[in-house]
Amino acid sequence: MSRNAESTAFRSALEVIRAVEPRVADAIGAELTDQRESLKLIASENYASPATLLAMGNWFSDKYAEGTVGRRFYAGCQNVDTVEALAAEHARELFGAAHAYVQPHSGIDANLVAFWAVLADRVESPALKKAQVRQVNDLTEADWFALRRELGNQRMLGMSLDAGGHLTHGFRPNISGKMFDQRSYGTDPATGLIDYDRLAEAAREFKPLILVGGYSAYPRKVNFRILREIADSVGATFMVDMAHFAGLVAGKVFTGDFDPVPHAHIVTTTTHKSLRGPRGGMVLCQPELADQVDRGCPMVLGGPLPHVMAAKAVALAEARRPDFADYAQRIVTNAQALAEGLLRRGAKLVTGGTDNHLVLIDVSGYGLTGRQAEQALLDSGIVTNRNSVPQDPNGAWYTSGIRIGTPALTTRGLGTAEMDQTAELIHAVLTQTTAGANADGTPSKAKYVLDPAQADKISRQAADILAPHPLYPTVDLT
């Protein structure tokens, strides 16, 4: 698409919005400005293409389309069938999957679809019927215990939150931790790496129905062949959540033992992050689970979002192009360069480096909590997110870590030289920030001290790094 066409499309859209609610139009424009001016290092964020963004703003938003392709509960869904079928086709071809379900609204929804698909042979249980006629939030722990017992008291084994797992892998406050009798596996305290022998021992002892692989803050590859062997040894269904690294699988950076699709019974993912599509989810599975997965709506989901499925089809088509494989490889190359730059400057990294798109910095060596570091970096034009590290003494709110990732900056065209410059800026912020104190003089885990002049200086340096790599260069809103 030409520069003029893209600029006209977005300018026209904002003019229409402004005529109804100018504050929304202003916020949309401000968001583009903020993203253009910040070093975006949040590992779970990216920049969707103009074509993907535009695919979401259209008349598909007006359609209800419960059901699946050719089997809808509403009439007039022939065009929805077209885009959903295209998205599923692109997903199957891109990942080499037997079946693809593209309706989930998010990664959490995709995981719920997967969990309930595995439990589908027990959906007639009395306890489940009881749960369906009450508000889930009203169920007591005793109710959940009864429900799990009716479902066979099924067990799930997933990576712990502080080791890099996700809250949907059985974290107790999440629905996954209430659905299942759950146990977590961690990492080796000395190396931060998965200990497959200990994981196998835990599986033999616990005998889970579902073994979950995948992560949101583990900076290394995972051997999915070994995990499948462990699952098979205890009769477990092997599920992989590849939301974070789906783009590396699509781009054939992760192949063989490190590609989850040939090894897992069921795979879930988001469609943004390293895949660079719209915010949404997706489930890939073996044929024996396809019928149950396709019941995701109304089993778990509300009506699918046809406009987002259209955008998924566009983004997945983009990911099938040869240049996406080059992009995926550059994500990892940049992450490793960023990690090496931080290590040279004395930063402590969980596992000592990275094999994928993310780096996890233990900021306790700087005398800071993750929350303090996150805010100080934001003041300096560097957008990150705080994250737990293994055996984190500060818990999941304040944390001791900062998670950074390279998908977004790689989309902008930054390379290894800019990654080293970025490492210098991060290190400069963290060394110039000190922990603050509460009003009573006690140490604070949230307050911090950073000279505003230094923060402004680093923000300008960040802008200099970004200047040769404009974001959405074909879009001019002026």
DSSP three-state, residue 41: coil
3-state SS string over 409-437? Answer: HHHCCCCHHHHHHHHHHHHHHHHHCEEEE
Is it true that the peptide bond before 298 is cis, omega within 30 degrees of 0? Answer: yes
Among 298, 250, 268, 300, which Cα is nearest to 168's? Answer: 268
**Strand 266-270 vs strand 237-241: parallel, antiparallel, or unpaired?**
parallel
To the query of whether residue 241 is one of the catalytic residues in this protein, the response is yes
To the query of whether residue 279 is one of the catalytic residues in this protein, the response is yes
Residue tagged active-site, from 45, 66, 195, 420: 66
Residues 360 and 402: beta-carbon distance below 8 Å: yes
Among 371, 362, 435, which Cα is nearest to 397's? Answer: 371
Residue tagged active-site, from 18, 64, 420, 474: 64
Residue tagged active-site, from 68, 168, 270, 351: 270
Residue 320: which residues within 8 A CB-CB, separation 6 or more?
90, 93, 94
To the query of whether residue 369 is one of the catalytic residues in this protein, the response is no
* Phi, psi (rounded to 5 degrees) for 12: -65, -40
Task: Measure the CA–CA gap between 274 and 410, rounded to whole angstroms.
Answer: 10
Task: Measure the CA–CA gap between 360 and 351, rounded to whole angstroms.
Answer: 8
To the query of whether residue 237 is one of the catalytic residues in this protein, the response is no
DSSP three-state, residue 354: coil
- Report CA-CA distances (Å) from 364 to 328, 402, 425: 31, 10, 18
The whole-angstrom distance between residue 167's C-alpha and the CA centroid of its chain comes to 11
Residue 188: which residues within 8 A CB-CB, separation 6 or more?
194, 195, 198
Q: Token pair of 341, please?
A: 């730059």
To the query of whether residue 288 is one of the catalytic residues in this protein, the response is no
Residues 350 and 360: beta-carbon distance below 8 Å: yes
Residues 228 and 264: beta-carbon distance below 8 Å: yes
Residue tagged active-site, from 273, 386, 403, 412: 273
Task: Measure the CA–CA gap between 196 and 212, rounded to whole angstroms.
Answer: 13
- Report CA-CA distances (Å) from 225 to 100, 192, 240, 262: 21, 20, 12, 9
Query: 175: buried, middle or exposed (CB in 10 Å: 19+, 13-18, 0-12)?
Result: middle
Task: Measure the CA–CA gap between 64 and 278, rounded to whole angstroms.
Answer: 19
To the query of whether residue 273 is one of the catalytic residues in this protein, the response is yes
- Report CA-CA distances (Å) from 327 to 278, 406, 477: 17, 11, 27
Would you please indicate which residues are annotated as catalytic (active-site) residues? Answer: 64, 66, 241, 270, 273, 279
